[in-house]
Amino acid sequence: MRKQVKTGIVGLDEMLSGGLLEGSTTLVKGAPGTGNTTLGMQFLHSGITDEDERGLLVSFEEFPFSLHRDALSLGWDLRKLEKEERLRLIFTSPRIFLASLQSPESPLNLTIQEWDIRRLVLDSISHFTRMTRDPKELRQIYNRVINGLKREGITSILTSEDSGTGLSTEEKGRLSFIVDNIILTRYVEIDSSMQRALLVLKTRGSDHAKEIRRFKLREGGIVVGTKFEGREALLSGSPRAIAPGR
Ligand SMILES: Nc1ncnc2c1ncn2[C@@H]1O[C@H](COP(=O)(O)OP(=O)(O)OP(=O)(O)O)[C@@H](O)[C@H]1O
Ligand SMILES: [Mg+2]
């Protein structure tokens, strides 16, 4: 049986029946600000501190200072982990990342080999849509990225921006079909307040919980709470209380 890799987020690992399968690729898809980068950082941070596994974060969007600052507000000192050579942050472009992944002698591949990288976060995969308008070519790009990571046996999290409406550009490359697992994050409006919701939409090779659960962001990261009871159409953007007697 393949080893399970814990995300380090207790409730999420429960929902995933123990964790992510080693070497699998997980898409974390959500509206801006819901906590996608945080989920990825927590996965890396937990790998480093709980499992003594080095982590690699590849960012196409945030500047180093803002990533360090955001992480610090969650209680994670990334600079310290980088100094201790347990974490590597790479700020690059999708094009350079893809070329590096495909050339064995690139600094990226050397880091992966020499550091024995087991966990990687790509923030965000949505940026690859800038490389082409052709859905077929986009699918090939996704396949190259994902196969490159799988070849190294890396368990990866790919974040993705998702407005929740219509067919997103990246879906034209059928990303959801290529990845092994999908986790959705959403804002839901309940009784005039915005709450964060989390759902495991698919896992390949293992079972997963089907319910939608609340989660919060606080110092220490994501805390998964209870499921939404007595509500329906949560992901539609206009949830309703379930009428009594139903
Ligand atoms: N210490 C903290 N306590 C509570 N909430 C926090 C804390 N630090 C950050 N947040 C919240 O985390 C959210 C941003 O998280 P994150 O950057 O992971 O989201 P994201 O989905 O990656 O967003 P983006 O669309 O900007 O990439 C913000 O809404 C912010 O309010
Ligand atoms: Mg982000």
- pLDDT by residue for the chain (246 residues), tens only, comes to 789 999 999 999 999 999 999 999 999 999 899 999 999 999 999 999 999 999 999 999 888 889 999 999 999 999 999 999 999 999 999 999 999 999 999 999 999 999 999 999 999 999 999 999 999 999 999 999 999 999 999 999 999 988 665 556 667 778 999 999 999 999 998 888 899 999 999 999 999 999 999 999 999 999 999 998 877 778 776 778 887 766
Asked if residues 59 and 91 have their Cβ atoms less than 8 Å apart, the reply is: yes
Closest ligand 1 atom, CA of 159?
22
Name the strand (E) or helix (H) holding 196: strand 193-202
pLDDT at residue 170 in the model:
62
Ligand 1 pocket, residue 66 CB under 6 Å:
no
Name the strand (E) or helix (H) holding 240: strand 240-241
Could you tell which of 38, 42, 44 is best to mutate to test the pocket of ligand 1, judged by most ligand atoms within 8 Å of the CB? Answer: 38
Q: Is the C-alpha dihedral spanning 96, 100, 106, 108 positive or negative? A: positive
Q: Which of these, 134, 120, 8, 140, lies nearest to 58 by C-alpha position?
A: 120
pLDDT at residue 70 in the model:
95
Give the distance (Å) from ligand 2 centre to CA of residue 246.
Answer: 39
pLDDT at residue 246 in the model:
61
Ligand 1 pocket, residue 32 CB under 6 Å:
yes
Ligand 1 pocket, residue 33 CB under 6 Å:
yes
Closest ligand 1 atom, CA of 161?
25
Asked if residues 188 and 173 have their Cβ atoms less than 8 Å apart, the reply is: no
Asked if residues 197 and 187 have their Cβ atoms less than 8 Å apart, the reply is: yes
Q: Which of these, 191, 142, 196, lies nearest to 169 by C-alpha position?
A: 142
Ligand 1 pocket, residue 245 CB under 6 Å:
no
pLDDT at residue 162 in the model:
81
Which amino acid residue places its CA nearest to atom 3 of ligand 1? 218
For residue 162, the ligand closest to its alpha carbon is: 1
